[in-house]
Amino acid sequence: GAVVSQHPSWVICKSGTSVKIECRSLDFQATTMFWYRQFPKQSLMLMATSNEGSKATYEQGVEKDKFLINHASLTLSTLTVTSAHPEDSSFYICSAPGTGDHEQYFGPGTRLTVT
């Protein structure tokens, strides 16, 4: 099946710094990718939809200037958490629709800890 990778799998950064998370579709092209955030023992909340070659679509309440999304190619989307704060600590997950009917493939997630 299709594979989506994320890098890094975990990252620790200091408050005020920026962190970039990559999401790659390894064996298929994805014009759209989704970025989710998952708090401990909670569900996934959609943050934004990443669109190749155009601006991302952010969900209500998500700061677009803080969570920068760039979908530079058909296999890569990046999420940059700018000026990170401890409350940004979370598990960030990306997904991409496959070519099959309703299939969607998830990355393994990136755990961000801001100290």
Instruction: Please report whether residue 42 would count as binding other proteins according to CB under 8 A.
Output: yes
Q: Are 48 and 37 in contact (CB under 8 A)?
A: no
Q: How far is 8 from 112, CA to CA, in rounded Å? A: 9
Q: Are 30 and 97 in contact (CB under 8 A)?
A: yes
Q: Which of 23, 93, 112, 114 binds other proteins (CB under 8 A)?
A: 93
Instruction: Please report whether residue 69 would count as binding other proteins according to CB under 8 A.
Output: no
Please report how close the Cβ of residue 104 comes to other proteins at its closest, in angstroms.
6
Q: How far is 54 from 27, CA to CA, in rounded Å? A: 22
Please count the residues of this chain forming the interface with other proteins, following the rule CB under 8 A: 20
Instruction: Please report whether residue 82 would count as binding other proteins according to CB under 8 A.
Output: no
Q: How far is 63 from 26, CA to CA, in rounded Å? A: 29
Binding to other proteins in span 14-33, by CB under 8 A = 32
Where on the chain is the footprint of other proteins (CB under 8 A)?
Answer: 32, 34, 41-46, 49, 93, 95, 97, 101-104, 106-109
